[in-house]
Structure 1
């Protein structure tokens, strides 16, 4: 947790101010019992009413000062912790946004969400408590001991027995409960994962009538978390009764032996009352420490998980060098490229070599799992290759800065993803400063203008989260428009026409020819009809190149391509 507290550096002066205010609050609270002792000893016992009023008024003033500084300390603590939480969330989000897909696969999206929200909130709550209690508890304990000894050193020997017993009780109970807190955070991860899958996959769940199965999965994860939470709370629940028991026995001992000392004339009644209050302050300061033992372990477990994310280096190194020049053309070359996913035994693709030139359409086709999507994900460096080289205009993609490399690319992913906002917002996502004419033109080329204009508010019609209020084909066309509006040098279409009917597919490809005449097009497709007219077709089989050529050339030279064609087209269409 201390590593995370480096983000408190901008708040060092407010933190110092909180320390000062808490110190003043402690001094006020420690001074009150002494004033009360003076009232009893010099006012009540001697019958001096004026002295009682005088010291009583002074006590009210001390109490008012203590109240004001306590409120200010609470306010500043809340501001510091809220700012700290905001800064750590921003830092975590920015760091995660630079992750490659490899890091996302390693940690998991559900866990990243939990760490960025729940875990940071846990640390934030602990910080509020630490700013107050971790400062106040030692001050009150040490100050209370000093003041108690000043009242009667002999009676203070009771603390020699009570404090070690109290400390040992806290350590035993906390030692049993602490290991459960890290387990709880992992089970929150599991609950988030099940919940996220259930909500995002609701259409599939309903279509297969598997709601009861998903309910049982959620109930299982929920009960698992509940059982752990109940167990840790059962352990921690022993702390307060045990502490109150020790506190009450200590009070009985103080009153008993203090009464004897008052009776023997070694102590005044007011001093005994003050001593009893100091004893309560000492014990309550130790109870504050016990509360920290409940919160700090969970906060520490959360801090460890946050630090794991912040310490994780991305596998994709950004060279941060601008290697793009005005003569950039966008020619893509794969030179004996091999790649395997982390932890995989076999490579996903092996020894791939081909060129995709500007003004040409390069299509990639193959069976499921042949490595098509993997191949094009290497161009924008979502993953880095294991061997060989991927080049753009003769320069290895690893020599570009990430921003410059991806600014040359317009990607339409296999799974079309839209963001909440309007239709215009989603198209303009590819180019934030695009004009209205550019938005309309991109939609027209993507064959999206017809259905957009039929929507109630046209281009300002709202798109729900994930694009759930539009069809799969409409999502794909909006995703294509989002890529087109960038006017990049390289277009990557990852099976982006699968949800389109044949007529729309044909019209879209015809419109793309004129729009992308000078750009490099790499199209991953399942349909033969989508790739037949391509200038170059790369056929993949089990991660290797099975053939490269035009449709006519491959029909004569590549048996795998012929099998794919025969499975999709009739003999008349093939002829």
Structure 2
């Protein structure tokens, strides 16, 4: 009878929690999405107004592709700080999840929690030291290559008639091809870094899981812990890993978005005086 009451109580709590989660996703994130959309529009308008107020001398000092990139691609990269699949709010949520799950795991079994962290912490350190650290620099190089490619494409379109007159189509096409290949090269560097981070997941994930099964199974066989406790540890470990992966990916995406933020900030600090 007591077990039935406990089961009913657990199901009731689960139902209430699911309802609150549904309301959270349907209200908070909807309001957040509307706010980010308005924020992006305000940034684009402010940036366009600032560029349009610059002197002709400063406008002519840069290629048209540079301004196109600063007004479009740079803003798109910058606002990814708040509107890409894993961004700043997700980092905050994942930190909260990691803290809560860590406390629960430590209460269930401190030794197994320590074992789990032996696999999780190195992954985070490697992810941040060897992957995320250079992301801002690599993303900045991508934006610079994008600006060069846009300038070459702009010249290819605008100067098409003159190029045909002087038989210079090949010259313009070669420049566009070179800048396109350079842009591809810069993008591949970022993809290689992300692939490096993704390659760590099986190592820490399966390695930690096998270690938990081996040691936890031995403890359960010896009667030191129950099978239910072992299952609970495995389930909470999964939640901890998901949150840690979300945090790692969010930090990498934030580092990438900072390249756009820096370039937008640089554009806004160009003085309007001639």
TM-score scaled to structure 2, two decimals? 0.89
* 1:299-338 matches, cutoff 5 A: 299-316=257-274
* 1:214-229 matches, cutoff 5 A: 214-229=172-187
Following superposition, the deviation at residue 110 of structure 1 comes to 2.0
Q: Which residue of the partner structure matches residue 64 of structure 2?
A: 109
Larger relative helix fraction: 2
Q: Which moved more, 1:203-212 or 1:307-316?
A: 203-212
Cα distance in structure 1, aligned partners of 2:225 and 2:18? 26
Following superposition, the deviation at residue 131 of structure 1 comes to 4.3
Q: Which residue of the partner structure matches residue 190 of structure 2?
A: 232
Q: Which residue of the partner structure matches residue 159 of structure 1?
A: 116
Q: Which has the higher contact order (CA 8 A, sep 6+)?
A: 2
Cα distance in structure 1, aligned partners of 2:8 and 2:177? 64
> Is the CA contact (8 Å cut-off) linking 1:81 and 1:125 kept in structure 2?
no
Q: Which residue of the partner structure matches residue 79 of structure 1?
A: 34
Q: Which moved more, 1:269-278 or 1:111-120?
A: 269-278
Larger relative strand fraction: 1
Q: Which residue of the partner structure matches residue 164 of structure 2?
A: 206
Cα distance in structure 1, aligned partners of 2:27 and 2:203? 34
Q: Residue 98 of structure 1: which of 53, 74, 97 is its match?
A: 53
Cα distance in structure 1, aligned partners of 2:25 and 2:207? 30
> Is the CA contact (8 Å cut-off) linking 2:120 and 2:204 kept in structure 1?
no
Q: Which residue of the partner structure matches residue 106 of structure 2?
A: 149
> Is the CA contact (8 Å cut-off) linking 1:77 and 1:132 kept in structure 2?
no
Q: Which residue of the partner structure matches residue 190 of structure 1?
A: 148
Q: Which residue of the partner structure matches residue 121 of structure 1?
A: 76
Following superposition, the deviation at residue 287 of structure 1 comes to 1.1
TM-score scaled to structure 1, two decimals? 0.44
Q: Which moved more, 1:63-72 or 1:221-230?
A: 63-72
Cα distance in structure 1, aligned partners of 2:152 and 2:214? 59
- 1:507-552 alpha-carbon deviations (Å, 9 max, x no partner): xxxxxxxxxxxxxxxxxxxxxxxxxxxxxxxxxxxxxxxxxxxxxx
Cα distance in structure 2, aligned partners of 1:312 and 1:76? 34
Following superposition, the deviation at residue 293 of structure 1 comes to 3.5
Following superposition, the deviation at residue 220 of structure 1 comes to 1.3
Are the structure 2 counterparts of residues 162 and 259 from structure 1 closer, same or farther at C-alpha, using a change threshold of 3 Å?
A: same
- 1:377-412 alpha-carbon deviations (Å, 9 max, x no partner): xxxxxxxxxxxxxxxxxxxxxxxxxxxxxxxxxxxx
Q: Which residue of the partner structure matches residue 133 of structure 1?
A: 90
- 1:255-301 alpha-carbon deviations (Å, 9 max, x no partner): 22222232333333333222222212222222112212332222111
Q: Residue 283 of structure 1: which of 241, 259, 273 is its match?
A: 241
Following superposition, the deviation at residue 55 of structure 1 comes to 2.6
Higher gyration radius (CA)? 1
**Which stretches in structure 1 are left out of the alignment for 5+ residues?**
1-41, 317-575
Cα distance in structure 2, aligned partners of 1:255 and 1:68? 37
3-state SS, counterpart of residue 167 of structure 1: helix
Cα distance in structure 2, aligned partners of 1:245 and 1:239? 11
3-state SS, counterpart of residue 265 of structure 1: coil
Following superposition, the deviation at residue 177 of structure 1 comes to 4.5
Following superposition, the deviation at residue 101 of structure 1 comes to 1.7
**Which stretches in structure 2 are left out of the alignment for 5+ residues?**
none
* 1:262-411 matches, cutoff 5 A: 262-316=220-274
Are the structure 2 counterparts of residues 271 and 88 from structure 1 closer, same or farther at C-alpha, using a change threshold of 3 Å?
A: same
